[in-house]
Amino acid sequence: MAKASKPVTGIILAGGKSSRMGFDKGMAAFNGRAMVTWVIDTLQAVCTHSMIISNTDAYHQLGLPVYADIYTDSGPLGGIYTGLKYSTTEYNLIMACDMPYVKPELLVQLLAFADDYSIVVPSVNGQFEPLCGFYHKSTLPKMEELLQQNTRKMQHVIRQFPYKEIQIEGSSPDSQMFANINTPEQLLQNQISTQSKQ
């Protein structure tokens, strides 16, 4: 797949505490390799630059720039803000480290609306999937303001900007791209499910 026509930074959020997994979620073995590496591959198929936002040393071995949250304990918004702050491009794609099913084609679809909206995100059954989205760097000042106001809910944050929602039906196979993998049991079940489809 060809790279985007304009410079795009891929920002991987791996700063969560992973308390239910018991260790850094992105480094969990998923179908033979660290789960985060599937996400890196997806982003690098489209993006010109990539980085990881993490508050641990676990990801330095992957050869990408790693930055710690500027605003600590601020949830996903803090991670998105940090990524945009360090990004050198206007266009940015955010992905969580535990989204190994997302395909580059979805990222291309998000970028198709990048000139008209500040944020473009998929939604499943009316719920935004903010950790797989396009975010323009111009959102930074307002995001910092929201962080200082202790706003954390991404569903609310997105609505503060001109945004585009890419609707995906919950019954659609594409909705499985956003399956949650938060526990060792979910990790195992997803790998079994993937293998059964091969």
Count CA atoms within 13 Å of residue 10 on its CB side: 24
Residue showing tokens 């985060």? 36
- Cβ contact 122:132 at 8 Å: yes
Helices (H), 3-122: 35-44, 75-86, 104-111
147 is in an annotated binding site: no
Q: Is 14 annotated as a binding residue?
A: yes
Query: Rounded distance, CA 98 to CA 169, Å?
Result: 21
Ligand-binding site membership of 98 (annotated): yes
What CA–CA distance (Å, rounded) separates 160 from 113?
17
**69 is annotated as contributing to ligand binding:** yes
Q: What is the largest CA-CA distance in the chain?
A: 47
Residue 52 neighbours by CB distance under 10 Å = 24
Residues with Cβ within 8 Å of 89's Cβ and at least 6 positions away in sequence, in order, are: 6, 7, 8, 9, 48, 49, 137
Residue ranges of the binding site for Mg(2+)? 98
Residue ranges of the binding site? 13-15, 25, 69, 98
Residue ranges of the binding site for GTP? 13-15, 25, 69, 98
